[in-house]
């Protein structure tokens, strides 16, 4: 690898390795997280943010530095969580702007790119606070501009020295850090990113680099729990949202509105995306304001008081530091978009696709788009549920973050997935983190909406038993139905017991299938010709969702039929107003049984 210049392949590999470094240290970063509030989630937020960047870059083959930098910035915005994730995304956005369309950079040019990225961050923040991640950014920009060298390996070795010096000084800049004897968690996370880059460029990415200066040894292992939530933090909910639209307002306009309702503001506007982070007591008002500008692709409001209480309980019991009351697991039949999964920190357990002798994990080894290409080529894979071992791993990861785990799973009447999860939960029964299994009696976005509901209630501090009870109540008045363009795959799967009666000799008949209250898939109607599918689906929906429903949200999924998303969403909004609608391509597991051309509607009535 020629390290006298940095190209797209080099930046891609460096950022992917950085994600590994941050993930390796996420628990440590959570423990020392005391600023701006001691909610113990900086490590998780930063790991999820850069993890979303790495996932996007792994699917890219771009060689141009400018193209990779722009892809990283966009992925960062979509996946940004928490203050640290938002600031990192701003940094990457400034870096992409500075690089432009250049295919590669030499060391002599890189200093100015770092300077531009750092200045972009400072200008974007409402109140830049020294002693945080931005201090490290400024320190390395200064050092890069000062150095005169032609090799990126040497450059990053020197930048690491300067970054660690700046990190060691963060307690002198922030009294909250000095009081607890820790460095800033976000700043330390940014140093881990630099470590990953340096390790990758040196050609030895797995070597354990020199530890950063330690301020977080005993007895301050649980610094996040020991710190006072603080009189300075007057707001309760860490609120985030991603909006997509063609006529989004400028950052300053949104920031001015939010300033009257909260603090810890970070706003990012890039193209058709607007990402917001704010601490507020009025999350629903924030969401309502943002809905006026476009589609609310993801949003969450996390009770920081509940998070801090979890940390205090963990510290008192000398247990592993959890960062939230409830951690949610679901399987990949849920059809939730990645941006929602990441926004809420859900843990996905993949189902399996079997192509002859090859087994691929859904959403890990194969994406929905890749699967559609296989369908168009005539592939007919079979499916299988996750193994108990896969659920064991999912539960383990979830237990690292939550006091309790709730798993919202594919209908037990459709798959052995729930039984596999039961076996895994029994094997973990003696652990300190209880696992609650919920049979969604559904699939696709019905299951996804229920998993999302579980995440939202957990973020508000609900007890697990109450969350499960609420899911059961909501499920009784919610549902999912789908129209198939062909019923060949549904018949082949054996999941439509009465479907054969519809074959006959009629031409161009499209069956409409419903998931009933027991979780079984049953035929409920039929339509002749694809042009009549949408009117029939809306007719069914109007019968199922009460006119009096005041709190309802929807999901629309498709299998190789994206042209149906906007018309269906438009008709739903004509009838129920500006409601939340999640849209997604059906995951390969759903697509295998529904077949090409299918689309379905999920509804969640929460009154």
Q: Look at residue 203 in the predicted model and tell me its pLDDT.
A: 86
Burial class (CB in 10 A: 0-12, 13-18, 19+), 50: buried
Question: Is the pLDDT higher at 460 or at 496?
Answer: 460
Percent of the chain whose predicted confidence (pLDDT) is above 70: 90
CA distance 301 to 287: 10
Place of tokens 């006959």: 504
In this predicted model, what pLDDT tens digit does every residue of 481-493 receive, in sequence order? 999 987 666 555 5
Q: What is the mean pLDDT of residues 512-518?
A: 95
Q: Look at residue 208 in the predicted model and tell me its pLDDT.
A: 45
Q: Is the pLDDT of residue 216 over 50?
A: no
- 555 and 602 Cβ atoms separated by less than 8 Å: yes
CA distance 32 to 41: 9
Q: What is the mean pLDDT of residues 123-131?
A: 92
**pLDDT classification of 206: cutoffs 50, 70, 90:** low
CA distance 475 to 143: 57
Q: Is the pLDDT of residue 307 over 50?
A: yes
Structure token digits, residue 328? 């949610």
What one-character-per-residue DSSP string does 75-110 give? HHHHH--HHHHHHHHHHHHHHHHHHTT-SEEEHHHH
**pLDDT classification of 190: cutoffs 50, 70, 90:** very high
In this predicted model, what pLDDT tens digit does every residue of 134-147 receive, in sequence order? 999 999 999 999 98
In this predicted model, what pLDDT tens digit does every residue of 424-459 receive, in sequence order? 999 987 777 999 999 999 999 999 999 999 999 999
CA geometry: angle at 387 spanning 385 and 389, to 5°?
Answer: 155
Structure token digits, residue 225? 């729990």
Q: Look at residue 492 in the predicted model and tell me its pLDDT.
A: 59
Mean pLDDT of the chain: 90
| Helix count and strand count (H, E) for the chain | 25, 19
Q: Look at residue 417 in the predicted model and tell me its pLDDT.
A: 97
How many alpha carbons lie under 13 Å from residue 304 in its C-beta half-sphere? 29
Percent of the chain whose predicted confidence (pLDDT) is above 90: 74
Identify the CA nearest to 522 among candidates 381, 411, 606, 408: 411
**pLDDT classification of 207: cutoffs 50, 70, 90:** low
In this predicted model, what pLDDT tens digit does every residue of 382-396 receive, in sequence order? 899 999 999 999 999
Q: Is the pLDDT of residue 357 over 50?
A: yes
In this predicted model, what pLDDT tens digit does every residue of 538-583 receive, in sequence order? 999 999 999 889 999 999 999 999 999 999 999 999 999 999 999 9
Q: Look at residue 63 in the predicted model and tell me its pLDDT.
A: 92
How many alpha carbons lie under 13 Å from residue 597 in its C-beta half-sphere? 16
Q: Is the pLDDT of residue 336 over 70?
A: yes
Q: Look at residue 228 in the predicted model and tell me its pLDDT.
A: 60
Task: Count other Cβ atoms within 10 Å, centred on residue 384.
Answer: 15
In this predicted model, what pLDDT tens digit does every residue of 249-291 receive, in sequence order? 999 999 999 999 999 999 999 999 999 999 999 999 999 999 9
**pLDDT classification of 52: cutoffs 50, 70, 90:** very high
**507 CB-near residues (< 8 Å, 6+ apart):** none
Q: Look at residue 505 in the predicted model and tell me its pLDDT.
A: 34
Determine if the pTM surpasses 0.95. Answer: no
Q: Look at residue 104 in the predicted model and tell me its pLDDT.
A: 96
**pLDDT classification of 497: cutoffs 50, 70, 90:** very low
Identify the CA nearest to 328 among candidates 225, 449, 476, 239: 449
Q: Look at residue 547 in the predicted model and tell me its pLDDT.
A: 83
- 206 and 199 Cβ atoms separated by less than 8 Å: yes
| All domains in the chain, ordered by first residue | 5-226 (1.25.40.340), 479-605 (3.30.1180.10)
> Of the ranges 33-42, 44-53, 423-432, 501-510, which one carries the lowest mean pLDDT score?
501-510
Structure token digits, residue 454? 């579980």
In this predicted model, what pLDDT tens digit does every residue of 308-328 receive, in sequence order? 788 777 667 655 556 689 999
Q: Is the pLDDT of residue 226 over 80?
A: no
Helix, strand and coil in the chain, % to nearest 5: 50, 20, 30
**pLDDT classification of 376: cutoffs 50, 70, 90:** confident
CA distance 288 to 292: 7
CA distance 121 to 96: 13
Q: Is the pLDDT of residue 97 over 50?
A: yes
């Amino acid at each position: 690898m020629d390290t006298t210049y940095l190209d797209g392949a080099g930046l891609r590999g460096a950022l992917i390795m950085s994600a590994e470094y941050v993930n390796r240290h996420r628990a440590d970063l959570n423990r020392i997280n005391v600023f701006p509030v001691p909610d113990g989630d900086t490590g998780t937020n930063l790991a999820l943010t850069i993890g979303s960047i790495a996932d996007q870059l792994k699917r890219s083959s771009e060689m141009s530095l400018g193209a990779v930098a722009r892809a990283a910035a966009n992925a960062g915005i979509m996946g940004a969580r928490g203050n640290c994730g938002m600031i990192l995304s701003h940094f990457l956005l400034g870096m992409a702007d500075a690089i432009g369309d250049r295919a590669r950079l030499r060391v002599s040019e890189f200093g100015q790119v770092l300077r531009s990225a750092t200045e972009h961050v400072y200008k974007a923040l409402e109140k830049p606070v020294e002693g945080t991640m931005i201090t490290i950014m400024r320190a390395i920009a200064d050092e890069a501009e000062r150095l005169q060298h032609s090799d990126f390996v040497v450059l990053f070795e020197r930048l690491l020295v300067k970054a660690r010096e700046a990190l060691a000084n963060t307690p002198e800049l922030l009294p909250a850090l000095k009081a607890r004897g820790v460095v800033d968690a976000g700043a330390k996370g940014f140093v881990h990113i630099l470590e990953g880059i340096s390790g990758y460029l040196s050609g030895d990415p797995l070597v354990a680099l020199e530890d950063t200066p330690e301020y977080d040894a005993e007895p301050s292992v649980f610094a996040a729990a020991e710190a006072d939530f603080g009189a300075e933090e007057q707001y309760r909910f860490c609120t985030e949202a991603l909006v997509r639209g063609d006529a989004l307002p400028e950052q300053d306009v949104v920031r001015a509105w939010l300033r009257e309702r909260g603090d810890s503001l970070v706003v990012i506007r890039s193209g058709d995306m607007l990402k917001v982070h704010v601490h507020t007591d009025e999350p629903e008002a924030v969401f309502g304001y943002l809905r006026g500008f476009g589609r609310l692709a993801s949003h969450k409001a996390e009770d920081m008081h509940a998070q801090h209480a979890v940390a205090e309980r963990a510290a008192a019991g000398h247990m592993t530091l959890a960062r939230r009351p409830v951690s949610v697991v679901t399987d990949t039949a849920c059809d939730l978009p990645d941006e929602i999964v990441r926004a809420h920190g859900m843990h996905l357990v993949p189902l399996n696709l079997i192509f002859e002798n090859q087994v691929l994990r859904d959403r890990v080894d194969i994406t929905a788009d890749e699967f559609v290409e296989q369908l168009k080529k005539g592939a007919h894979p079979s499916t299988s549920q996750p193994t108990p071992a896969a659920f064991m791993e999912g539960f383990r990861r979830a237990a690292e973050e939550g006091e309790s785990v709730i798993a919202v799973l594919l209908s037990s009447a459709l798959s052995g997935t729930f039984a596999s999860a039961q076996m895994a939960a029994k094997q973990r029964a003696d652990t300190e983190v209880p696992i609650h299994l919920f049979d969604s009696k559904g699939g696709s976005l019905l299951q996804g909406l229920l998993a999302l509901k579980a995440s939202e209630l957990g973020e508000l501090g609900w007890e697990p038993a109450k969350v499960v009870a609420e899911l059961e109540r909501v499920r009784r008045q919610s549902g999912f139905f789908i129209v198939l363009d062909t019923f060949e795959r549904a018949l082949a799967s054996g999941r439509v017991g009465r479907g054969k009666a519809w074959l006959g000799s009629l031409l161009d008949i499209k069956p409409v299938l419903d998931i009933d209250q027991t979780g079984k898939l049953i035929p409920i109607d039929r339509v002749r010709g694809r042009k009549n599918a949408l009117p029939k689906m809306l007719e069914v929906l109007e019968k199922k969702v009460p006119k009096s429903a005041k709190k309802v949200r929807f999901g629309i999924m498709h299998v190789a039929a994206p042209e149906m998303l906007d018309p269906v969403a438009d008709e739903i909004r004509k009838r129920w107003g500006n409601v939340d609608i999640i849209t997604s391509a059906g995951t390969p597991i759903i697509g295998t049984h529904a077949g090409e051309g299918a689309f379905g509607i999920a509804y969640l009535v929460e009154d």
